[in-house]
Structure 1
Amino acid sequence: MSWLQGRYELAAVFGAVGGPLAYYAGAEMGATEALPSVSGMLVLMAVWALATPFLVWLAGYLKGGGARTGKAP
């Protein structure tokens, strides 16, 4: 997901939507028996909305590019 380098707002949106959606899909497939409540899903949204941009930044930093602001080559 190098195309997210420097696009932290977009990464937050993807995290807020994709994180809980993946958890819900896994629960629907039987990976867990407990579906989170509405408040639990809101917590998952908040956590993934913060974690995804951080992980995008960390990947760029560890790759040696630091906190890039443009598109990946």
Structure 2
Amino acid sequence: MGQIVWSRRIVADIYAAAEYHRPFAPAFADKLIDEIFSKGQLLEAHPLVGRLVPEANRYSGATTQKISDYLSGCIC
């Protein structure tokens, strides 16, 4: 089982994005936060999830896999 380490900056950016949307779409703002962190939990539980992306060949000794449109994992 892997471990996701969320930097303070990315957590702040996630919440800032949600707050940007909150005035006109509060349900979306809440769902945005939930979806991002649930994808992180999915990645921790299943680090090999996703498809191999073409760019993976650029990295020697590493495998990069797409998890969603915004996430990719690196197995180094």
TM range (shorter): 0.3 to 0.5
| Structure with more contact order per residue of length (Cα contacts < 8 Å, sep ≥ 6) | 1
Calculate the TM-score normalised by the size of structure 1. 0.33
- Which structure: greater strand fraction? 2
